[in-house]
Homo-oligomer: A and B are copies of this chain.
């Protein structure tokens, strides 16, 4: 049974998924925690930019960080969030199949 959720908290949460860099970060740390530098290298990104998106994802409660010496390791919050990320791909695969079979659809 799913309880009522506040729409504004929900939007803050969903905001986490609305940017390509953030999605790439989530995918990068979906199965293993990584330091900021590792993520920056992974995405071939800008350190400042990645740090900002990490702060955003942390604010959205999608990831958690732990400090270890001079490194900060980030990981996806928990299995529920990982499942949600997988669920995106499941739905997307379904959509892509549909687009593939029915070329009468105009993909805007």
Q: How many copies does the complex hold?
A: 2
Given A18-B17, A18-B18, A89-B2, residue A94 in contact with residue B108 (CB < 8 A): no
A101 at the interface (CB under 8 A from B): no
CB distance from A33 to the nearest CB of B (A): 18
Taking a contact as CB atoms under 8 Å apart, the answer to whether A95 and B13 are in contact is yes
Taking a contact as CB atoms under 8 Å apart, the answer to whether B7 and A93 are in contact is no
A87 at the interface (CB under 8 A from B): yes
Taking a contact as CB atoms under 8 Å apart, the answer to whether B7 and A14 are in contact is no
Residues of B within 8 A of A81 (CB): 91
Residues of B within 8 A of A14 (CB): 17-18, 23, 88
Q: Which residue of B lies closest to A83 (CB)?
A: B87
A46 at the interface (CB under 8 A from B): no
Taking a contact as CB atoms under 8 Å apart, the answer to whether B92 and A88 are in contact is no
Give the 7 A-B residue pairs with the shortest CB-CB distance, closest first.
Answer: A18-B18, A61-B95, A2-B89, A5-B92, A59-B108, A80-B91, A14-B17
